[in-house]
Amino acid sequence: MADISLHFTSKAPLAGTYTALRQIFSTWGRRARERRELAHLDSRTIHDLGLSTSEIQFEASKPFWRS
């Protein structure tokens, strides 16, 4: 039987890891910004969105890493 060995060497073995981390940090940053904006909405805007103050407070108080 022939002994076949397949090896793949990449010049950037962690490229996918860096991309995934960049996406995670981007998502976390977006969530943090959106939650800060939610926390500063006035009552008229909250009403226009069809949400309650408690819903806004609940979402705005969540940490950035929770979806």
Domain boundaries, the chain: 16-61
Cα(first)–Cα(last) distance of the chain, in Å?
A: 53
Amino acid at site 35: R
pLDDT digits (tens, 9 = 90+) for 16-67: 788 899 999 999 999 999 999 999 999 999 999 999 999 999 999 999 999 8
Cβ-based neighbours of 48, under 8 Å, separated by 6 or more: none
Outline where 6-52 has alpha helix (H).
15-39, 43-49
Residue among 47, 21, 41 at smallest CA distance from 60: 41
